[in-house]
Amino acid sequence: MTTSSLERLRSELRQLAEPQVRAQQERVLSPADDDELLGVRVPVLRKLARGYRELTLDEVDALLRSRVHDERFAGLLVLAEQVRITRGAERTSLVDFYLARTDCVDNWDLVDGSAPVVLGPWLLDESLEVLDRLAGSASLWERRIAVLATLALIRADRYEPTFTLVLALRRDPEPLIHKALGWMLREIGRRDERAMVGFLDRHAPELPRITVRYATERLEPDERARFVRRR
């Protein structure tokens, strides 16, 4: 695609913006002062990204460096489309590109929309050492990327990396990390309730209360109360 494709994507984003969605973004995202929110729905962004998967990495980089929040999100979703259709060294190059730009992945929706579908698929065939590095980062968003990326592993019935991160980050100071840990435990429980319950039987007293509450949302009330009382 040419540079005009980038401009066309930007134009489409503004045409797809909805004032009520923007108002919701302002309430839930706590954007930086220099961020511009357009108000494009996430499903609409995903559909748009599928039509622009041929953008060059320079063009994706331009989107990620934008102070328009929806442009950054669109760039991440284009990158996810590129990861989806590549393998081997080409996919590794895309993941390296992503990891070099985590400073652009600077809100929870950007993390949640990108980590499981950009970094996550690559982890299925590669070393998990990157998770340790991200989990040890001073950046809240890099730590959340580590947690959310394990969703791809969970969907492949590989739970141990998530359990390891839950224990490593259980004393993290940020509620957004506590919630992410609980969310991933809940996802494990959707696939293998016995595995999640066994983990909580061993570790619930050590975990943040919000982590336990998120993790046990789908359990029967009596079973859930058993774990929540231990916190």
pLDDT band at 33 (very low <50, low <70, confident <90, very high): confident
- Give bridge partners of residue 32 from the DSSP assignment: none
Among 77, 70, 76, CA closest to 29: 70
DSSP state letters, 159-222 = -HHHHHHHHHTTT-S-HHHHHHHHHHHHHHHHH-HHHHHHHHHHHGGGS-HHHHHHHTTTS-HH
Name the token pair of 120: 């996550």
What's the one-letter identity of residue 128?
A: L
Domains of the chain (ranges, CATH numbers):
1-103 (no CATH), 127-231 (1.25.40.290)
Contact 206, 171 (CB under 8 A): no
Asked whether the predicted pLDDT for residue 201 surpasses 80, the reply is: yes
pLDDT tens by residue, 65-81: 999 999 999 999 999 99
Distance CA 79, CA 117 (A): 9
Question: Up-side HSE of residue 12: CA atoms within 13 Å toward CB?
Answer: 16
Q: What is the pLDDT of residue 3?
A: 58
Q: What is the pLDDT of residue 32?
A: 80
Q: What is the pLDDT of residue 228?
A: 87
Distance CA 103, CA 26 (A): 20
Residue 68 backbone dihedrals phi, psi, to 5 degrees: -90, 115
Asked whether the predicted pLDDT for residue 36 surpasses 70, the reply is: yes
pLDDT tens by residue, 103-152: 999 999 999 999 999 999 999 999 999 999 999 999 999 999 999 999 99
Among 140, 147, 11, 138, CA closest to 71: 11
Report pTM.
0.95
Mean pLDDT calculated for residue range 158-180: 98
